[in-house]
């Protein structure tokens, strides 16, 4: 016969003791992590690069990844140091971040918000990434930014141009170096007025999603303010490939300017159709018919080939900036030299913005003396810097949007090679593209350290 001395009180006491024992390491670890998600404990720190590796923006994602690898190399003291030598903040010294060697993991956003969130979540939960960065679409940026806010991770956005990322969907843990639709409109309008006059009638074709809406609104507001009239604005499905039925009626609509609020494949196809239908050579209202592409990228221009010749647009950065506009944009040449030597071709604007974001994050950690997201956010808010290729820039505290000069570019008439597709027409100063952060609504909320 087996007898036991089990009592209800004994079980509760033993259970409580065992529970406390099991919880102790967690409590101690949390303490040593100073209470934030994925606090690095060893000699390394892991960054999560979430870029489109498959799908329509895979080439842009590949260029982002090259820039990230270069940034990691420079942070760890390798290569020629790139923009570390021109960056106005001198806290980074090539020994990693806070003395920890920088390592990275990559995820594939597929340019789909769900897939991007899943890959970001995996990098945070399985790989212990302390910061997530990347992306080539605003839908992805907004989705991943929201996830990072919930997880207590800093999100350094990649290529995202919608006003919403740092407007109505802004988050305390999210930061954007790239410019936005509003800034494109504000930069383009004066150039369009001086080149095409103030008496113009515009026809907008707009991609039927978030970025398209904000870009159309920004360009309409800016151009109407200087006297242009908007004849029509037609939404086009994001999945549209043949734009002929949207382009064909433009010439008979009374418009004399076509604004293509399209990006990526949409822009390549709609611009190709517009040129095929003779819009570049046409006359309307006694004027030459003109086409405008508010957001340009060199990779996109390459896809459209000769069709971009003479067409105005805006861009966040271009590899020739320092040569064309002078030493105010110091850092551009250093980055081009570093990237070009390693990979054999100049970097895209997507590569530039993600390289800057990586350095800005590392620098903020270094200045804050902590990986705690709230300390990092505080170090980034209101941070004024220079030497990263865009001239003097400020990370605005109110919406976490970088305020800096914006480039107006034009497709080159006679490019000499695949990289020489855009020419810089003007650089609009930051003051002219600055806006009240309250106009887009939204609420940053408070920083979430996670854990």
Partner 1 sequence: MDQIILQILNGLDKGSAYALIALGLTLIFGTLGVVNFAHGALFMIGAFCAVTLSRILSLSHVVLDETKKDFLGKPLKVEVPYANDWFGPELGGAIIDWAVPLSILFAIPVMILIGVIMERGLIKHFYKRPHADQILVTFGLAIVLQEIIKYYFGANQIPTPAPEAFVGSFDFGALIGLDSGKVIYPYWRILYFCFAMLLIGLVFAFLQFTTFGMVVRAGMADRETVGMLGINIDRRFTIMFGIAAAVAGLAGVMYTPINPPNYHMGMDFLVISFVVVVVGGMGSLPGAVLAGLLLGILESFASVREVIEFLPGINQVVIYLAAIVILLTRPRGLMGRKGVMED
Residues that bind partner 1 (CB under 8 A): 54-59, 232, 234-235, 237, 239, 241-242, 244-246, 248-249, 251-253, 265, 268-269, 272-273, 276-278, 281-282, 299-300, 302-307, 319-320, 336-337, 340-341, 345-346, 416-417, 419
At closest approach, how far in Å is the CB of 204 from partner 1? 11
Q: Which is nearer to partner 1, 90 or 306 (CB)?
A: 306
At closest approach, how far in Å is the CB of 237 from partner 1? 5
At closest approach, how far in Å is the CB of 434 from partner 1? 31
At closest approach, how far in Å is the CB of 284 from partner 1? 9
At closest approach, how far in Å is the CB of 364 from partner 1? 30
At closest approach, how far in Å is the CB of 273 from partner 1? 8
At closest approach, how far in Å is the CB of 252 from partner 1? 6
Q: Which is nearer to partner 1, 173 or 269 (CB)?
A: 269
Q: Which is nearer to partner 1, 282 or 425 (CB)?
A: 282
Q: Which is nearer to partner 1, 116 or 183 (CB)?
A: 116
Q: Provide the 10 A C-beta neighbour count for residue 198.
A: 12
Q: Which residue in 134, 176, 175, 130 sits closest to 153, CA to CA?
A: 130
The answer to whether 173 and 444 are in contact (CB under 8 A) is no
At closest approach, how far in Å is the CB of 37 from partner 1? 33
At closest approach, how far in Å is the CB of 138 from partner 1? 19
Q: Which residue in 241, 295, 291, 246 sits closest to 269, CA to CA?
A: 241
At closest approach, how far in Å is the CB of 413 from partner 1? 15
C-alpha 384, offset from chain centre: 19
Question: Could you give the C-alpha distances from 152 to 159, 173, 375, 448, in angstroms and in order?
Answer: 22, 7, 12, 5
The answer to whether 368 and 381 are in contact (CB under 8 A) is no
Q: Which residue in 23, 15, 18 sits closest to 7, CA to CA?
A: 15
Q: Which is nearer to partner 1, 232 or 451 (CB)?
A: 232
Q: Which is nearer to partner 1, 59 or 378 (CB)?
A: 59
Q: Which is nearer to partner 1, 144 or 334 (CB)?
A: 334
Q: Which is nearer to partner 1, 172 or 304 (CB)?
A: 304
Q: Which is nearer to partner 1, 147 or 299 (CB)?
A: 299
Q: Which is nearer to partner 1, 303 or 392 (CB)?
A: 303
What's the 3-state SS for the chain? CCCCCCCHHHHHHHHHHHHHHHHHHHHHHHHHCCCCCCCCCCCEEEEEEEECCCCCCHHHHHHHHHHHHHHHHHHCCCCCCHHHCCCCCCCCCCCCECCEEEEEEEEECCCCHHHHHHHHHHHHHCCCCCEEEECCCHHHHHHHHHHHHHHCCEEEECCCCCHHHHCCCCCCCEEECCCCHHHHHHHHHHHHHHHHCCCCEEEEEEECCHHHHHHHHHHHHHHHHCCCEEEEEEEECCCCCCCHHHHCCCHHHCCCEEEEECCCHHHHHHHHHHHHCCCCCCEECCEECEEEEEECCHHHHHHHHHHHECCEEEECCCCCHHHHHCHHHCCHHHHHHHHHHHHCCCCCHHHHHHHHHHHHHHHHHHHHCCCCHHHHHHHHCCCEECCCCCCCEEECCCCCEEECCEEEEEECCCCCCCCCCEEEEEEECHHHHCCCHHHHCCCCCCCCCCC
Q: Which is nearer to partner 1, 221 or 253 (CB)?
A: 253
At closest approach, how far in Å is the CB of 66 from partner 1? 14
């Amino acid at each position: 016969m087996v007898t036991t001395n089990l009592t209800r009180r004994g079980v509760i006491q033993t259970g409580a003791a065992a529970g406390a024992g099991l919880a102790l390491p967690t409590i101690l670890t949390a303490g040593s992590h100073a209470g934030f998600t994925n606090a690095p404990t060893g000699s390394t720190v892991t960054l999560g690069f979430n870029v489109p590796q498959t799908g329509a923006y895979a080439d842009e994602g590949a260029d982002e990844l090259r820039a990230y690898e270069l940034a990691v190399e420079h942070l760890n003291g390798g290569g020629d140091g790139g923009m570390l030598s021109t960056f106005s903040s001198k806290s980074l010294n090539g020994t990693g971040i806070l003395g920890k060697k920088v390592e990275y993991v990559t995820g594939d956003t597929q340019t789909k918000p769900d897939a991007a969130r899943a890959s970001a979540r995996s990098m945070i939960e399985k790989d212990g990434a302390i910061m997530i960065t990347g992306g080539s679409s605003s839908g992805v940026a907004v989705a991943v930014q929201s996830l990072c806010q919930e997880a207590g991770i800093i999100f350094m956005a990649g290529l995202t141009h919608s006003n919403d990322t740092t407007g109505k969907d802004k988050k305390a843990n999210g930061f954007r170096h790239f410019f936005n639709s509003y800034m494109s409109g504000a930069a383009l309008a004066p150039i369009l007025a001086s080149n095409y006059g103030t008496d113009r009638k515009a026809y907008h074709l707009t991609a039927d999603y978030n970025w398209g809406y904000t870009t159309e609104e920004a360009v309409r507001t800016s151009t109407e303010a200087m006297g242009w009239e908007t004849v029509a604005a037609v939404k086009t499905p994001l999945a549209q490939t043949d734009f002929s039925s949207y382009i064909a009626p433009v010439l008979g609509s009374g418009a004399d300017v076509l604004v293509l609020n399209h990006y990526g494949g949409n822009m390549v196809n709609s611009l190709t159709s517009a040129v095929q239908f003779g819009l570049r050579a046409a006359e309307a209202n006694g004027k030459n018919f003109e086409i405008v592409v508010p957001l340009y990228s060199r990779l996109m221009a390459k896809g459209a080939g000769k069709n971009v010749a003479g067409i105005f647009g805006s861009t966040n950065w271009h590899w020739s900036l320092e040569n064309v506009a002078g030493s105010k944009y110091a850092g551009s040449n250093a980055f081009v030299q570093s990237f070009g030597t390693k990979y054999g071709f100049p970097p895209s604007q997507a590569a530039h913005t993600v390289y800057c974001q990586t350095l800005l994050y590392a620098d903020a950690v270094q200045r804050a003396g902590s990986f705690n997201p709230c300390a990092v956010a505080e170090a980034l808010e209101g941070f004024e810097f220079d030497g990263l290729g865009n001239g003097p820039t400020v990370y605005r505290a109110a919406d976490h949007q970088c305020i800096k000069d914006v480039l107006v570019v034009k497709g080159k008439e006679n490019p000499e090679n695949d990289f020489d597709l855009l020419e810089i027409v003007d650089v609009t100063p930051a003051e002219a593209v600055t806006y009240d952060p309250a106009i887009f609504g939204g609420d940053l909320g408070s920083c979430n350290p996670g854990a």
